[in-house]
Every structure is written in C-alpha cells, then in structure tokens.
C-alpha cells in the first residue's frame, strides 16, 4: 500500500503474458501484486518464429542465455537456476509440455503447484526421457480449496481436457479477480465439470484469460468423447479385422473410451508396457481407469522398444507379466484385437505378416497423420478417423463466457485472437506478448 495524504491507495495487479497471447502453446503468464509474483505455466512453444512446428531437440544442451537470445525462454529476472528467486510460486495447469516443458530451467527453490495427476504424468515423462523436468519442489493442490501465496489467493478448479487432471485457476488479489481457463473443453468424459462451472460460475471476475485453440480449426465429425466411444464400439463389432489404434498414451479419456468400446464389442485392447505403467501410476488419482489386471478385455504386448527396455532394466516391467500376450496368441486371435499403435509395434506386425485384413483407427489430431500415413498406405491398410478435440468448441467458449460474465476477456492459447472480438465484442482485450498491463 502507498499512503497518499492519509489515503491508502491500493496497488493494482499487473499481468504479463510472455507467450500465448497470439499463439497456441508455450504458455507463460506472470501476475504481480505488490511484491508478490506468480507464474502460470511455463510451456514449450508448439511453433517457431515462422509458425513451423517447434523442434524441441533444438533446445537440448543450449545455455539459458542462448535460449533467451533466441526467444525460447522469456527474459525474466529471478526465475532461473542461477538467479536469486523472486517468485512466490509457479502454477501448472496440466501435464502437456506446451504448459510445463521449460520448467527444467527454473530455480527449484520456487515451489510448483499442480494436480496429483499432473505430478504423476510429468514424473513418468521424466523417467522415460521425454522431458528434462524433474518435478521436485512440487505440491499437489486440493481442488476448489483456496490457498495463499504472498498477496494472492489461488483456487484451483478441476476442468475437462484431453490432458489428465487439468486445472483452471481463480486468482484473487487486492479485490481484483482473474480467472485463467487453462486448456479445457465441455465434451470430454468429465464434461460435468464444465456444466458445474456454467451452473455455479466464479463471480465478479475482472479478467478472464481464455484459451481459444479451436478458433480457426475444424470441429470434426464427432462431437464428444461419448460419441467416440459409441462409434468405436460400432466399428469394432466387425469381427473380420485386426484393428490398430493410433492415440496418445497420455490421453487418458481416450484410453477409457477405447477400453469401454472393447468391452462393448467383446474385443481385447492390447496396450504397451508404457501405457500400462501410466494407467497403473494413476490409480492413486482415479480407480475408474482401465488397468492391466482387469482381465479379459485388456492385455499387454511387450513391444521391444526403448520404453519397454527401460522398464525391463529396472525390473518395473515384471509387475505386468501376468497380462502379457504372446506372438502365438496374437496369431490365433488377431481379429479380436485392438492394438495400440506405436512405431515399433506396427513394424513388428508387418514383419510377422499380421497386417493382412487390418484397419487403422486414427484417433489423434490430424496434424500428426502425415507421420504415419505412408507406412499404412504402403501396407494397404485403410485408415478410419475417429477423433474429437481436447479443446472447447466455439459454442462452449460462448457458454463459458456467458456464465462467468467477466468484465474483460484476454485471448490466450490461440492463433486467432481477433476472432474473440467477433465472438465477445468490446469485452475482448487483445494484448501482445511481453506487454504488461495493469488491472
Ligand atoms: Zn495447451
Ligand atoms: Zn493441453
């Protein structure tokens, strides 16, 4: 507080979006109130300066100074390992690398707050060498339970997203309120969380920092995760084919949909040890996730890739032995299987001549399809696309904004911030990356 002629003047809250005001990925937002500072997300960019896919290998073995110079790391004093820390906390919204992938550069004395599921998935990604972030000084939050960091009161909201255990944050300070949506949607397996926000929205929000990934993107043929499950079950009822399915092992909602479709169609979901380990580690977060020891609809193919080798090396593979499917079994019951696709799995199946009369179900973002299509085309395997987005559709964004009714909306995590103006008119406040504004 500053005293002016006996009157106490309230400090404003300062907001700086370092990246994400006009692009998807690489989210990094700073809030400052008096001497308190927090950072929300610290993600790897998804695109480079030419809007080409960002090559994360380019940052390997680079110094902090080089990465600040090239614009990958934001120039923030008091955040990095070799500096005296000035931040009270880092809040991570969810375990996608475009929200946490630069964390390894941060001074580990700064505490990181995240969900239990986020913590588990980052630990797994670190174990398998997918990230350099080793989450040490981290604390799992309790949903909807406010906690204080410096001048800020932070309330984590569990939201529906393709990233597991994802959070939005309500952040209050000096009578100002910001709601950061994080990445979210209203049509996943936890759509009830979206409905709950519509029914009982956070009140008197000054600024809503809102993701807009789906603006400018095609919605696709299937609306919800439930539609995906139903369509998968329908397709899988055809008993003449061996099915491969391409999906992310960390898209837990999708794994549940596939498993449920396998139960409905009396098929066996064949996952790899990496996927089985992820589901096993998440038992402590949810008891509803399909597990390797659930019996007849789930088995493991011990694909000899570096992930399986890593698990064999430290004996963690042993736990999953009871669910292992043999080559003989694969040969005998091929047309009852739904095999989780991976680079090595598809090649082994091709070598063993198992691919005859196969189909690939492609259940991921279209952008990754060119990586795998040549292989399947070469083996004359038809591709069936069954996917829905991990992000809110335009109509969901509209419902969300209507319910929360903020004074202002700041576009974030979008390539089309100007489309917010079309949707939300004068409430929209488009900002530039690295620009600090006061509220
Ligand atoms: Zn994201
Ligand atoms: Zn995400």
pLDDT, one tens digit for every residue, the chain (439 residues): 444 444 555 668 999 999 999 999 999 999 999 999 999 999 999 999 888 899 888 888 899 999 999 999 999 999 999 999 999 999 999 999 999 999 999 999 999 999 999 999 999 999 999 999 998 899 999 999 999 999 999 999 999 999 999 999 999 998 899 999 999 999 999 999 999 999 999 999 999 999 999 999 988 888 999 999 999 999 999 888 999 999 999 999 999 999 999 999 999 999 999 999 999 999 999 999 999 999 999 999 999 999 999 999 999 999 999 999 999 999 999 999 999 999 999 999 999 999 999 999 999 999 899 999 999 999 999 999 999 999 999 999 999 999 999 999 999 999 999 999 999 999 999 999 999 999 9
Kindly give the distance from the C-alpha atom of residue 169 to the centroid of ligand 1, in angstroms, as a whole number: 15
Ligand 1 (ion): residues with CB under 5 Å are 98, 183
Kindly give the distance from the C-alpha atom of residue 271 to the centroid of ligand 2, in angstroms, as a whole number: 23
Kindly give the distance from the C-alpha atom of residue 96 to the centroid of ligand 1, in angstroms, as a whole number: 6
What domains lie within the chain, and their CATH numbers? 9-218+390-438 (3.60.15.10), 225-385 (3.40.50.10710)
Among all bound ligands, the one having the nearest atom to the CA of 121 is 2
Among all bound ligands, the one having the nearest atom to the CA of 27 is 1
What is the value of pTM for the model shown? 0.95
Among all bound ligands, the one having the nearest atom to the CA of 413 is 1
Kindly give the distance from the C-alpha atom of residue 263 to the centroid of ligand 1, in angstroms, as a whole number: 31
Among all bound ligands, the one having the nearest atom to the CA of 25 is 1
Kindly give the distance from the C-alpha atom of residue 161 to the centroid of ligand 2, in angstroms, as a whole number: 7
Spell out the SS3 assignment of the chain: CEEECCEEECCCEEEEEEECCCCCECCEEEEEECCEEEEECCCCECECCCCCECCHHHHCCCCHHHHHHCCCCCCCCCCECCCCCCCCEEECCCCCHHHHCCHHHECCCCCEEECHHHHHHHHHHHHCCCCCCCCCCEEECCCCCCEEECCEEEEEEEECCCCCCEEEEEEEECCEEEEECCCCCCCCCCHHHHHHHHHCCCCCCCEEEEECCCCCCCCCCCCCHHHHHHHHHHHHCCCCCEEEEECCCCCHHHHHHHHHHHHHCCCEEEECHHHHHHHHHHHHCCCCCCCCCCCCCEEECCCCCHHHHHHHHCCCCHHHHHHECCHHHHHHCHHHEEEECCHHHHHHHHHCCCCCCEEEEECCCHHHHHHHHHHHHHCCCCEEECCCCCCCCHHHHHHHHHHHCCCEEEEECCCCCHHHHHHHHHHECCCCCCCEEEC
Among all bound ligands, the one having the nearest atom to the CA of 98 is 1
Kindly give the distance from the C-alpha atom of residue 24 to the centroid of ligand 1, in angstroms, as a whole number: 6
Kindly give the distance from the C-alpha atom of residue 42 to the centroid of ligand 2, in angstroms, as a whole number: 13
Ligand 2 (ion): residues with CB under 5 Å are 96, 163, 183
């Amino acid at each position: 507080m500053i005293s002016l002629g006996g009157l106490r003047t309230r400090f404003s809250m300062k907001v700086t979006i370092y990246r994400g005001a006009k692009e998807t990925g690489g989210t990094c937002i700073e809030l400052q109130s008096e001497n308190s500072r927090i950072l929300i997300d610290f993600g790897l960019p998804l695109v480079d300066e030419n809007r080409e896919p960002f090559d994360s290998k380019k940052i390997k073995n680079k110094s902090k100074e080089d990465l600040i110079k090239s614009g990958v790391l934001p120039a923030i004093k008091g955040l990095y390992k070799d500096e005296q820390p000035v931040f009270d906390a880092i809040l991570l919204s969810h375990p996608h690398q475009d929200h946490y992938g630069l964390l390894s550069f941060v001074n580990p004395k700064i505490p990181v707050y995240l969900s239990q599921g986020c913590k588990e998935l980052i630990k797994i990604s670190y174990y398998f060498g997918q990230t350099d972030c080793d989450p040490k000084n981290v604390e799992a939050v309790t949903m909807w339970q406010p906690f204080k960091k410096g001048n800020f009161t932070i309330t984590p909201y569990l939201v529906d997203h393709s990233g597991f255990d994802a959070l939005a944050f309500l952040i209050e300070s000096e009578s100002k309120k910001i709601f950061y949506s994080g990445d979210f949607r209203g049509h996943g397996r936890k759509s009830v969380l979206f409905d709950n926000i519509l029914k009982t929205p956070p009140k008197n929000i000054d600024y809503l920092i809102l993701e807009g990934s789906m603006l400018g993107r095609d919605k696709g043929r299937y609306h919800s995760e439930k539609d995906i499950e139903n369509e998968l079950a329908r397709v899988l009822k055809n008993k003449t084919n061996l099915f491969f399915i391409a999906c992310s092992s960390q898209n837990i909602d999708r794994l549940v949909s596939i498993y449920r479709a396998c139960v409905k169609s009396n098929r066996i979901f064949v996952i790899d040890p990496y996927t089985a380990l992820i589901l096993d580690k998440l038992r402590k977060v949810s008891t509803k996730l399909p597990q390797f020891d659930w019996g007849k609809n789930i088995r493991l193919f011990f694909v000899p890739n570096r992930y399986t080798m890593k698990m064999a090396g430290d004996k963690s593979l042993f736990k999953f032995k009871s669910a292992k499917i043999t080559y003989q079994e694969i040969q005998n019951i091929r047309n009852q299987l739904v095999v989780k696709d991976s680079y090595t799995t598809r090649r082994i199946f091709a070598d063993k001549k198992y691919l005859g009369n196969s189909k690939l179900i492609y259940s991921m973002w279209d952008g990754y399809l060119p990586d795998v299509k040549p292989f399947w085309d070469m083996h004359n395997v038809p591709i069936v696309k069954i996917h829905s987005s991990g992000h809110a559709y335009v109509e969901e964004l509209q419902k969300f904004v209507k319910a929360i009714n903020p004074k202002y909306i700041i576009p974030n995590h979008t390539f089309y911030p100007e489309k917010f103006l079309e949707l939300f008119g004068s409430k929209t406040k488009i900002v530039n990356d690295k620009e600090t504004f006061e509220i």
